[in-house]
Structure 1
Amino acid sequence: MKYYFFLLLIVTPIFGFTQKPKLDFNSIEKNLNNTESSYNYEKLIFKYKGFPKSLDSIEAEHLYYGRNFSDSIVSTSDEDFKTLAHAFKDNNFEDCIRLGKILYNKDPTNLDVLLILLRAYDTKHDENNFIHHLVQFRTLTDAIKSSGDGKSEKTAYVVNTIGDEYILLNILNIGSDYKRQNSNPTKDGMFDIWEKDKNTILYIKVLYLNL
């Protein structure tokens, strides 16, 4: 996608985040499916859609990484998303909102969909919807930023998709002068190593939990 420049207008500062314990995906999946858990998906998504400011960091972590265990994922390779992306490319923001709402209802924690909706609502000067989705977007990206510090494989930032990796790079202001030099496979994902002037700068782990 070519719209990530818009991130510079809406992201929060990256400082002040401390690394939390290693992500426990088995626990996240179990909690999301447990109707008795305070981290049950239906409970969290109700807060996320209605009162996103009320979500704490653990709840945000469950929502963001819990997307790996959902059956309602919208992929950038799906025809519906391609139609949305085409409307965005054509600056057809009415269609962006109409189509984006449909995909949002199917996959509400999809960062690509949220970004397009943000841009569309900003262009249409719809402040209420823009701020609402901005809070959601920041909540999810804060979960990524608190997953590590990017200084080693052990403390790599953890993202769900390649698309989310590029969103993170833009948030961290990693520009075109940085190059992805290596990708090291692991049992549940891939470590991408980003370098500048032959010096390692950043480690990002892209998850492949459903393979």
Structure 2
Amino acid sequence: MKYHFFLLLLLVSVFGFSQKSKIDFKAIQKDLKNDKSPYNYEKLIFKYKGYPKSLDTIESQHLYYGRNFRKDVVSTIDDDFKSLAEAFKTENFDECIKQGKILYEKDPTNMDVLLILLKAYDVKQDADNVIHHLGQFRALTGAIRASGDGKSEKSPYLVNSVGDEYILLNILNLGQDYTRGSKSMRDGILDIWEKENNKVYIKVLYIDY
């Protein structure tokens, strides 16, 4: 069976909303480093890599927001990622898989890397890898969607980067007909996406503990 990549975000968009929970970033930072915590990074990443569907919302949020406290993440400005992006641009999907697997091992919760791998595996009709990485992608986006309801300044969706914000916008099916206003905050930038009487609030985090 062929899995069409362009339907993946649609599939994610119809997943049920998780219970909203206030994010305690200091607790996440502490838990991830604590070997005795059930939210220790190594324990969670083992579940994430092996069986992502087993992760609950709190576990997924520790993995997603815990990226703010890791030093080994892959950035879109890194040469390795730029090389992966170039392979994707030229539709060299064999190379996307080769390079993407390396970056995935270094930074398995990187949503940009996951999306490129999903597209490449979809083109190669590798259903097993599409389903597996889609489960991981669903866990991470579920963590974002459980961070708030996006309906007010006090309850925005929380994302780690502008790139993740645009992934969320696609999931929420917010098109180019929305206008964006921004407001600086102590721990990030609050973007207000507006169309007529509809507003969606998304905060791009800048955490410095």
Query: Counterpart of 1:28?
Result: 28
Structure 1 CA distance for aligned equivalents of residues 171 and 199 of structure 2: 15
User: Which residue matches 1:51?
Assistant: 51
The yes-or-no answer on 1:40 pairing with 2:54 is no
**Residue-pair matches, total:** 205
Which shows bigger deviation, 10-19 or 40-49?
Answer: 10-19
Task: Give the C-alpha shift of residue 175 in structure 1.
Answer: 0.2
Residue 143 of structure 1 aligns with an amino acid whose one-letter code is A
Partners of 1:132 and 1:139 lie apart in 2 by 11
Question: Which runs of 4 or more aligned residues in structure 1 lie more than 6 Å from their structure 2 counterparts after TM superposition?
Answer: none
The aligned counterpart of 2:182 is 183
Partner in structure 2 of residue 192 of structure 1: 191
User: In structure 2, what is the equivalent of residue 150 of structure 1?
Assistant: 150
User: Does 2:18 match 1:17?
Assistant: yes
Query: Given that residues 17 and 145 in structure 2 are in contact (C-alpha distance below 8 angstroms), is that contact kept between their aligned partners in structure 1?
Result: no
CA distance in structure 1 between the partners assigned to 2:74 and 2:94 by the alignment: 20
What is the match of residue 204 of structure 2? 206
Q: Which amino acid aligns with 2:206?
A: Y
Which amino acid letter does the alignment assign opposite residue 186 of structure 2? K
CA RMSD of aligned residues (A): 1.6
Look up the equivalent residue of 1:52 and give its one-letter code: P
After the TM superposition, which residues 91-102 of structure 1 pair with which residues of structure 2 at under 5 Å, given as runs? 91-102=91-102
What amino acid does structure 2 have at the position aligned with 1:148?
Answer: G
Contact 2:17–2:146, Cα closer than 8 Å, also in 1: no
Amino acid at match of 1:202: V
* Secondary structure of the structure 2 residue equivalent to 1:190: strand
Q: Deviations over 1:65-95 (max 9, x none)?
A: 0011111111111111111111111110000
Spell out, residue by residue over 1:98-139, the C-alpha distance to the aligned partner (whole angstroms, 9 max, x if none): 000111111110000000000000000111111110000000
Distance in 1 between the 2:44 and 2:150 partners? 28
Aligned residue in 2 for 1:126: 126
Q: Matches of 1:59 and 1:165 in 2, distance apart?
A: 21
For structure 2, the residue ranges without an aligned partner over 5 or more in a row are: none
Question: How far apart in 1 are the matches of 2:9 and 2:179?
Answer: 20
Using the size of structure 1 for normalisation, the TM-score is 0.92
CA distance in 2, matches of 1:171, 1:56: 20
Shift of 1:10: 4.0
In structure 2, the residue corresponding to 1:11 is in which secondary structure?
A: helix
- Give distance in 2, aligned partners of 1:5 and 1:172: 15
1:29 deviates by 0.3
- What letter corresponds to residue 11 of structure 1 in structure 2? V
Question: In the TM superposition, what whole-angstrom CA distance separates every residue of 1:6-43 from its partner, at most 9, and x where no partner exists?
Answer: 653442415543322x2100000000000010000000
Q: Any gaps of 5 or more consecutive residues in structure 1?
A: none
Measured at CA, do residues 75 and 5 of structure 1 come closer, stay the same or move farther in structure 2, by a change above 3 Å? farther
Normalised by the size of structure 2, how large is the TM-score? Answer: 0.93
